[in-house]
């Protein structure tokens, strides 16, 4: 089982590259949609986007096992908040991948007697729950970092000096807001992994929100957010120290 999980983990980099290409095509199609002279390019982009989507589904066939295994490991975390958020996130991802695999089998004609719309909607819901749990984890970690940093005497002196030197009228009137923003920025600078993961999850959140009709945007916004989150995902693979833990 461990060798199988290690093998499927090696496909994550390829999946992120395909994902970036898929959403780059979506963004390009949106930007060229009103140009009648680019019909051939739009068709090619649509074909490439579909190919990338199909390729990603093939790479994700083993991700259900990975997600279940990750949920078993997060159950051992000592922090109850992290344990709850990450376990629910991993189980939701496992259910999402199951739905995704069923839809992939239906597209190949291997499974026919299923409701495509219902399975697609359920997959989006599970994906949404997973993202919300990941974002909750990010906020919780950031809050912990801010509390720890605020207790540092050296940092307290730094904040006091910053407030005395601030020339912004709004910050002078509301010094607590200035101190909070300053603390947040300092924590983000010192913990880029948390910052990148938060931005990535926020970008990804627009995708299920649009599909569920909760907050509908445009194909261009979805394409841009998907592309940005994919590039951040690739960065976390290339630079392991930028991958959030746990």
Q: Quick check: 172 pLDDT over 70?
A: no
Confidence of residue 10 (pLDDT cuts 50, 70, 90): low
Specify the pLDDT at position 170. 44
- Report domain extents, the chain: 2-151+191-242
More confident residue, 11 or 93: 93
Specify the pLDDT at position 26. 94
Confidence of residue 140 (pLDDT cuts 50, 70, 90): very high
For the segment 177-202, what is each residue's pLDDT rounded down to a tens digit?
Answer: 667 877 888 888 889 999 999 999 99
pTM passes above 0.75: yes
Lowest mean pLDDT among 71-75, 122-126, 234-238: 234-238
Q: Quick check: 157 pLDDT over 80?
A: no
Specify the pLDDT at position 169. 44
DSSP the chain: -HHHHHHHHTTHHHHHHHHHHHHHHHHHHHHTTT-GGGHHHHHHHHHHHHHHHHHHHHHGGGHHHHHHHHHHHHTT-S-HHHHHHHHHHHHHHHHHHHHHHHHHHHHTTS--SS-HHHHHHHHHHHHHHHHHHHHHHHHHHHHHHHHHHHT-HHHHHHHHHHHHH---HHHHH-HHHHHHHHHHHHHHHH-HHHHHHHHHHHHHHHHHHHHHTSS---HHHHHHHHHHHHHHHHHHHH-GGGS---
């Amino acid at each position: 089982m461990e060798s199988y999980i290690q093998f499927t983990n090696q496909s994550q980099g390829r999946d992120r590259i395909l994902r970036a290409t898929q959403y780059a095509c979506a963004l390009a199609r949106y930007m060229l949609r009103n140009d009648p002279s680019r019909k051939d390019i739009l068709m090619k982009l649509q074909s490439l986007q579909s190919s990338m989507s199909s390729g990603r589904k093939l790479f994700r066939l083993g991700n259900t096992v990975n997600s279940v295994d990750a949920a078993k490991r997060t159950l051992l975390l000592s922090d109850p908040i992290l344990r709850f958020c990450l376990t629910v996130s991993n189980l939701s991802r496992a259910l999402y991948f199951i739905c995704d695999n069923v839809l992939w089998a239906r597209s190949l004609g291997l499974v026919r007697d299923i409701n495509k719309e219902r399975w697609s909607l359920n997959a989006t819901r599970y994906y949404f729950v997973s993202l919300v749990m990941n974002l909750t984890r990010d906020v919780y970690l950031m809050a912990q970092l801010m509390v720890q940093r605020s207790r540092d005497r050296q940092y307290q002196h730094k904040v006091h000096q910053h407030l005395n030197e601030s020339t912004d009228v709004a910050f002078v009137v509301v010094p607590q807001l200035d101190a909070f923003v300053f603390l947040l920025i300092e924590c983000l600078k010192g913990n880029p992994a948390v910052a990148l993961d938060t931005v990535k999850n926020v970008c990804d959140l627009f995708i299920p929100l649009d599909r569920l009709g909760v907050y509908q945007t445009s194909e261009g916004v979805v394409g841009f957010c998907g592309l940005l989150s994919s590039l951040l995902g690739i960065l976390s693979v290339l630079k392991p120290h930028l991958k959030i833990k746990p």
